[in-house]
Amino acid sequence: MGVLLTVDAHTRSAYKHGNVSTHMGVLCVDWSPKPLPIPSGASRSVNIENHGPLPLNDKSTIKFRGPACYIESAPFATSVAIQPASPRVGTPFEVVFSITNKTNIHQVVSVALKDAAEKDDVLVAGSVKGDMRLSPQATQLLSYTVIATKSGKNTIPSISIASTRYRTWLVQGAESFDVYVLP
C-alpha cells in the first residue's frame, strides 16, 4: 500500500528573500504490538493463549522525519488586473499582467498569446509572441487591450508567460480566463 503526500511550503518572513533546507514534516505513527494467538490443537508446555510480543497498555509513538528538501523563494511574482473592473460591450478595457523579477540577475521571459478561436467574442490587441527582458528587482507591465462584442461571460484567449532561465511558467498558458462584461 502506497501513501501519497502533498506538501505546500509556507516560509516565515525571515526566509521570504532567501532559502532554507529542511525536512518535509514529521510522520508520527502510533502503534501497539498485537500478540499472535496460538492455533488450536498446538501442543502447549505452559497454559498461555498468545505468543509473540507482549501487549502494551499505552500505544507507542514512532516519529519518522520526512525527506530532506531545499525550499527556495520564487524568483518571480505575477498578478493580473482588469481595468476598469467592470468592462462594457464595445468599450476597450485593459488586461494588465504585472511581472516582478525578485532575483539579482537579469531575466528573460517569453510571452505567447494563443490565437483566438472563432467562437471567442472578444478582440485582443497586444504582444502576440516575443521576449521580455527584466532587470534585477524590477517590475514590468504587460498590457492587452480588449474589446468585448457581447455582454455576459467572455473568454480571453490564453496567455503564456514563461521563464527561459528556469523553464517554468509564470502564467500557465493552457487555460484561458473569463471576464464578465456589462451591456
DSSP 96-149: EEEEEE-SSS-EEEEEEEPPPPTT--EEEES--EEEEEE-TT-EEEEEEEEEES
Count of helix runs (H) and strand runs (E) in the chain? 0, 16
pTM over 0.95: no
Instruction: Give the max Cα distance, the chain.
Output: 95
Choose among 68, 30, 74: nearest CA to 170. Answer: 74
What's 9's DSSP letter? -
CA of residue 81 relative to chain centroid, distance: 20
Rounded CA-CA distance 181/92 in Å is: 11
Domains and CATH numbers, the chain: 13-71 (no CATH), 76-181 (2.60.40.10)
Question: Going residue by residue through the chain (183 aa), what tens digit of pLDDT does each one get?
Answer: 556 656 666 666 655 556 777 777 888 888 887 777 777 776 666 666 666 677 677 888 888 888 888 777 788 999 989 999 899 999 999 999 999 999 899 999 999 988 766 567 888 998 889 999 999 999 999 999 999 999 999 888 888 899 999 888 888 765 677 889 999
